């Protein structure tokens, strides 16, 4: 007659030991890969185009997109009642924009 009272706990123990063994092998493999990468001195280099684009982006970020002189000029014209709105020009621009967006 066979004693099967502890069969589930024996299976759990076996499964746990197998998992630990597999985990240890995976960790050792990852450590080996990390050491290999460090030994080769991985580097990232940018192409000339990427470097130029990065410089342009930095220049654009550091400059203002608002023309302060033009803003002051328009504010002054509005304050003095000298700012004229050309309704026909605005309508033409709106229609051109709608045509562009529908293409």
Report residue 80: phi and psi, to 5°: -85, 0
Average of pLDDT values for 61-81?
A: 91
For the chain, which residues make up each domain, given as ranges?
67-103
How many Å apart are CA 33 and CA 25, to the nearest integer? 12
How far CA 3 is from CA of 6, 7, 75, 88, in Å, comes to: 8, 8, 96, 99
How many Å apart are CA 86 and CA 67, to the nearest integer? 21
pLDDT tens profile 54-69: 899 988 888 878 889 9
Of 66, 48, 50, residue with least CA distance to 58: 50
DSSP 8-state code for residue 6: T
Q: pTM value?
A: 0.33
């Amino acid at each position: 007659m066979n004693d099967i009272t502890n069969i589930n706990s024996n299976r759990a123990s076996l499964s746990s030991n197998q998992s630990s063994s597999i985990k240890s092998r995976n960790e050792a493999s990852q450590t080996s890969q990390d050491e290999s990468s460090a030994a080769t001195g991985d580097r990232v280099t940018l192409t000339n185009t990427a470097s130029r684009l990065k410089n342009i982006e930095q220049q654009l970020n550091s400059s203002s997109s608002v023309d302060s002189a033009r803003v002051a000029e328009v504010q002054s014209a509005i304050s003095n009642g000298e700012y004229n709105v050309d309704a026909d020009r605005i309508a033409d621009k709106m229609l051109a924009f709608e045509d562009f967006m529908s293409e």
